[in-house]
Amino acid sequence: MRCRTRSTVAVGLVTTALLASGTLVGSAAPPGGPADQPPAWSTALDRAQAGDEAFVAATSQCSETPRELPVHEFTDHRELGVELDRIERVSDGAVDVEQVGRSNRGREIWSARVGTGDTVVLLTSEIHGNEKVGTDALVDLLEWVGTSGSRKARQWREELTIVAIPKMNPDGAELDRRGNDQTWAEVTARHPQLRGSEPSWNYYARSLQGDDYTQRPGFDTNRDYHPDLSYVPQPEDLPGSSAGTGWYLTPEASTVRDVYRGLQAEFGEVDTYVDLHHQGACYVMPDDPDEFVTLSISGQFVADPATKPGYEQYADDYDLDYSKQLNVAVDRALQAAALRRPLFGNVTLYPQGIDLPGTGLGSFALNGSGTVLFEVRGQTQTLGQQQRAALTRSVFIGLDGMLTAVASGAVEQIDPAEYDRIPPRGPNVGVGEEEDARVLRQAGVPLD
């Protein structure tokens, strides 16, 4: 079990060690620290990288090999419609549910809005259809804030306008896979100017993560965003790359963009944007190979626009420090909950230094929103619905802590430097990882 009472000196040592090994690209190393002490937090990394046989044997029970596992306990698309309708009724209209769009296959995409405050928080889940815990957590959260008479819930409703779009990729979710199943022909029917163009790079038509996209190709919707919210897809911008911007080719990303723009028009800005994901099942804590990471979080998704040619127009709005403060509020709530259940304390920082302006988080960060990524343990092809209740609870606790800090204004008092002291994610000790996934990771395409 991880104990969160380490000195900042130990943190600095580990961060320095990770930087030296090239693991934590782009993160600032805190200064100082005696050089003759071993970097305690990098132990697992060192042993994994050195191929330590005892280490590998001790952790080899965790598998990243994709397999068919039951997922019926999660909320499917039909059940989500029933649940949102029920919450709207039992909340006596405090939660307002609206259909804001349709997926490529015509499934409803709903938003649920609660609160009348000036501070807007947008929450999305299941952009990757095999990452389902966030949807269940949002349903729980909406029911609580819509029905609770507690002082905290009243403060949320008075200070915040919470807009949740659970299961924003219902087509991928019903297939229980990462991407939707929109064909390139369907894209060009929607955007005739793209006829004759090569498909975008995030159009999968191969086998990936245990899913056969050859029979049913589709898009990773989480690379389809563009920080210019009025962008219209242009043939010269295809096929693009993971490092570049997206195009709003998918109706799902376009729907979220439309909701975001509507909130901008109504409130001036979207204060906070949270996207709920899952990562591999077999990441361990950096100081303990026996403890799996429950949740990785992050507030950094793009390079500082002030220093990146072509992105200068976003520099004034971009606010990394605020994203850091929001993430610290998430971490603090989970560390407090770890006193009751240690699993909640296994929180790490998602790899820093990434630059993905084509993600929803990247694009909305460039538009000035504070941004928070949740990466819960294990996609459905490796973890199925195991630990569903505890993982759903971990997301709920993190969101609760963040929303409470935003509603009270306490988030402004948090030192952003506390973010850099959240431990880095340890290695993935899984065995039997799919070849496709490994190739893509080596190519720098995050699969989380």
| Least Å from the CB of residue 268 to Zn ion | 29
Closest approach, Cβ 177 to Zn ion, in A, equals 12
The β-bridge relationship of strands 203-204 and 218-219 is antiparallel
Identity of the residue numbered 418: E
Q: Which is nearer to Zn ion, 128 or 177 (CB)?
A: 128
Write down the least CB distance from residue 361 to Zn ion, Å: 11
Kindly tell me which of 128 and 324 has the beta carbon lying closer to Zn ion. Answer: 128
Exposed/middle/buried for residue 308 (C-beta within 10 Å: 0-12, 13-18, 19+): middle
CB count within 10 Å of CB 324 equals 23
Residue with tokens 């990936």: 208
Binding site for Zn ion (CB under 5 A): 128, 131, 277
Smaller CB separation from Zn ion, 161 or 221: 221
Listed residue (6, 72, 1, 78) closest to 37, CA to CA: 6
**Closer residue to Zn ion in complex, CB, 157/277:** 277
Min CB(348)–Zn ion separation in Å: 16
Is 131 or 171 the residue whose CB approaches Zn ion more closely? 131
* Distance of closest approach, residue 129 Cβ to Zn ion, in angstroms: 9
CB of 448 to Zn ion, least distance (A): 5
Give one DSSP letter per residue of 288-302, joined into a string.
EEEEE-SEEEES--S
Nearest alpha carbon to residue 367 among 242, 201, 249, 245: 245
User: Considering the complex, what minimum distance in angstroms separates the CB of residue 427 from Zn ion?
Assistant: 19
Q: Which is nearer to Zn ion, 131 or 136 (CB)?
A: 131
Closer to Zn ion by CB, 16 or 379: give it: 379
**Rounded distance between C-alpha atoms, residue 101 and residue 106, angstroms:** 9
Among residues 349, 351, 319, 356, which one has the least CA distance to residue 422?
349
- Position closest to Zn ion via CB: 277
**Which amino acid makes up residue 407?**
A
Residues making up the chain, counted from first to last: 448
Taking the least distance from each CB to Zn ion, the nearer of 262 and 446 is 446
Q: How far is the CB of 280 from Zn ion (least distance, A)?
A: 11
The residue among 114 and 373 lying less far from Zn ion, judged by its C-beta, is 373
Find the shortest distance in angstroms from Cβ 133 to Zn ion.
11
- Closest to 395 measured CA to CA, from 132, 202, 208: 132
Report whether 388 contacts 73 (CB < 8 A): yes
Q: Which is nearer to Zn ion, 47 or 178 (CB)?
A: 178
- C-alpha span between 24 and 20 (Å, rounded): 9
Which residue, among 394, 428, 177, 136, has the nearest Cα to 281 in the 3D structure?
Answer: 428
Tally: H helices and E strands in the chain:
14, 14
- Is residue 331 within 8 Å of 297, Cβ to Cβ? yes
Closest distance between Zn ion and the C-beta of residue 373, in Å?
Answer: 9
**Amino acid at position 184, single letter:** W
**Of 258, 296, 264, 168, which is closest to residue 222 (Cα–Cα)?**
168
The residues near 192 (Cβ < 8 Å, ≥ 6 apart) are none
The answer to whether the bond into 30 is cis (omega within 30° of 0) is no
131 vs 140, which CB is nearer to Zn ion? 131
Q: How many Å apart are CA 444 and CA 290, to the nearest integer?
A: 27
C-beta of 211: minimal distance to Zn ion in Å? Answer: 14
